[in-house]
Amino acid sequence: MLTDAVREWRDALGEDSVICDRTQIERAQTATFQTQQTIPIILRPASRDQVSEIMRVANRHKVPVYPVSSGRNWGYGSRVPVVSGCALVDLGKLREIVDFSEALGFVTVQPGVTQRDLQHFLTGRKSKLWMDATGSSPDCSLIGNAMERGFGHTPYGDHFAQVCALEVVLANGETIRTGFAGLPAARAGQVYRWGAGPSLEGLFSQSNFGIVTEMTIWLMPAPEYFQAFFFQCDREDGLAAIIDALRPLRMDGTLRSAVHIANDYKVLAGIQQFPAGETVPLRPARMRELRRQLKFTKWSGSGALYGTRGQVAEARRLLRKALRGVASKLQFLDDRVLKLAARFTGVYRLATGLDLRKTLELVKPVYGLLQGVPTRQPLGSAYWRKSMPVPPDPDPDRDGCGLIWTAPVAPMEGSHAERLAGIVERNLLAHDFEPMISITLLTERSIACVVSITYDREKSGEDEKAMDCYLALQAELAREGYYSYRLATPALPAPSSDSAYTELLRSIRAALDPNDVLAPGRYVPRV
C-alpha cells in the first residue's frame, strides 16, 4: 500500500520531492523529547495542487500523512507525527507572500513563509507596518504558529485572533476558503473574519481537519512612539500582587500587549547555561544566592507601550501608579535611550549591576520582540543543560536539547498565578529540573504560565525523567483545572471527560476524513 502511494506521489511531485534518505528521515523523527513514532517518507509539495494530489493519493491507498509548515514545533513535538507510519508533508516550499496591503495592514502568506521572510519583506518595502513575532525562532512558519495558536509580544500577540481567509486543502483533496474569501470577487475577505454563515477558522486550528495552504494575517501600524518597560520584584510571594495590579490596565486597554513576568530560573537560563560546578537541580535556596551574586530578582517583568507620545506618556503614568509598591525598578527604554546607552557601555553600569554591554545584549532581543522583530536569542535557553555552547544556528532537535513546553491558562488573578507557579515549581524540582517559568498576561482576562522542562537528551535516563515530570505536572494541573492552551504530541488528544464533546469531534472527523489519513490522532481522539 505505502509503495503504491509512494509511486504515485513520485509521479505527482517529481522524484526530488519524495525523500526516503535515512539521514533526513531520522532527523525528521527527532523531537526535543523522546518519541517512538516512525516516518516512512517525506513529501515536499511545491504547490497547493500538489498538496491536493497528496491527499487524493493518501485516500486511494489509505496511507496517513502528517503536514508541517516549518516543522519547528519545538517543545511540543517538532515534526514528529502523533502516530507511526505517516508520510511527513513538509510545506516549506510553499513560500510565497501572496498579497499585501499597506493601507489596510494585512499580508497573505503560504505555510513556508517564516517570521524572517515577513520581516525582510516589510523592511524591504520600508513598510510602516509591524508584524508580531513569537519568541521561538525567526525560521518558524507564520501559519504553523497561528494554527497552533501561538502568541507573541505586541498588541497583535494572540496570533489566531488576527488571521482570516484561510485557504484549506481538506482531507479529500478539495480546497476551500473561509469567510468572505470563498465568495466570488469578494472584497472584504482579508479584512473581516467571520464572513456569512458558520465561521470555520477555529475548526482548522489545533486540529486535523485540513491543511492550511494560505492565510491572511493582520499587521499593526507602527506607532508614532514605542517604549519598552522592565520591572523587578524580589519578594518570593510578589507575583500575585503584580498580576492584580496589572489586570485593570490590561482589561481597559492601557496595556495593549502581553506582559511577560519571568521567574529567576527563566532569567538565569536567558543569561547563561547551567552554571558549572552546581548540583542538579539548582535549589531555590541556591537561586537566592545566585540572584544576589548576579544582581537579579525573583520576578522580572517586561512589556511595552505603543501609541503617540501623549498616549504612551499617559500609559506610563498609569503603569507607574499601578506598580508602585508591588514592583521595583520600573524602567522605560526607547530608541533614544538605547542609542545613548550603546555609546557609553564602557562608562557605567545599569541598575542591574551587570555590565552594560552584556545587559544591552540581553535586552535588545526582548526590545525587538516587543516591536515584532523575530529573534533566535530566547532559543538559547534550550541549551541550558547542554555541555556544548549555544551554536550560532541553534537547532534543538539536531543538538539533542531536551525541551518540553506546556502553558496552562488561568484567569488573570494573582491567586491563580501564585498557585500555578507553585504547582509548576514543586513538580519540576521534584523531578530534578529547574522550574523555568514565565507568566504571560495573554489576553485581557487570562494568563498563561509558560513552563519549559529543559534537559540534555544525551544524558541517559533524562528523556524518561522529563516525560514522567511532564505527565505528572499535566495530571496535577488537570486536577486543579489548569489546562494548557496547546499540547505536546504525547499528550494529544486534548483531555476531556465529556463524551458528547469527544463524539462531536469524532463525527466531524469521520465526515471530513473517513479514511483517517490526515494527521490521525492530532488533537482529535481517534475512534
**Site for its own copies, residues 274 to 333, rule: CB under 8 A:** 307-308, 310-311, 313-315, 317-318
Pairing of strands 97-101, 129-130: unpaired
Pairing of strands 220-221, 211-218: unpaired
Measured distance CA(210)–CA(67) in Å, rounded: 9
Q: Does 368 bind its own copies (CB under 8 A)?
A: no
Measured distance CA(200)–CA(467) in Å, rounded: 34
Query: Exposed/middle/buried for 396, CB within 10 Å: 0-12, 13-18, 19+?
Result: buried
Contact 127, 103 (CB under 8 A): no
Site string for its own copies, 83-112 (x = CB under 8 A): --------------------xxxx------
Site string for its own copies, 242-281 (x = CB under 8 A): -----xx--xxxx-x-------------------------
Region from 91-99, 232-240, 345-353, 480-488 binding its own copies, contact rule CB under 8 A: 480-488
> Least distance in Å: CB of 160 to its own copies?
6
Q: Identify residues 130-159 at the interface with its own copies (CB under 8 A).
A: 149, 155
Nearer to its own copies, 29 or 73 (CB): 73
Q: Identify residues 411-430 at the interface with its own copies (CB under 8 A).
A: 411-413, 416
Q: Does 48 bind its own copies (CB under 8 A)?
A: no
Q: Which three cell numbers stand for residue 99?
A: 498579497
> Any idea of the CA torsion for 194, 198, 203, 208, to the nearest 10 degrees?
-130
Characterise 357 by phi-psi region: left (phi > 0), alpha (psi -120 to 50), beta (else).
alpha
Cα dist. 516→45, 104, 331, 399, 506 in Å? 21, 40, 54, 33, 11
> Least distance in Å: CB of 419 to its own copies?
9
Nearer to its own copies, 2 or 176 (CB): 176
Nearer to its own copies, 295 or 526 (CB): 526
Region from 64-72, 324-332, 465-473, 503-511 binding its own copies, contact rule CB under 8 A: 503-511
* SS3 (DSSP) at 150: coil
Amino acid symbol at 177:
R
Q: Using CB under 8 A, which of 240, 382, 442, 450 touches its own copies? A: 442
Q: Using CB under 8 A, which of 24, 46, 192, 515 touches its own copies? A: 192
Nearer to its own copies, 193 or 376 (CB): 193
Contact 456, 406 (CB under 8 A): no
Region from 131-139, 324-332, 347-355, 436-444 binding its own copies, contact rule CB under 8 A: 436-444
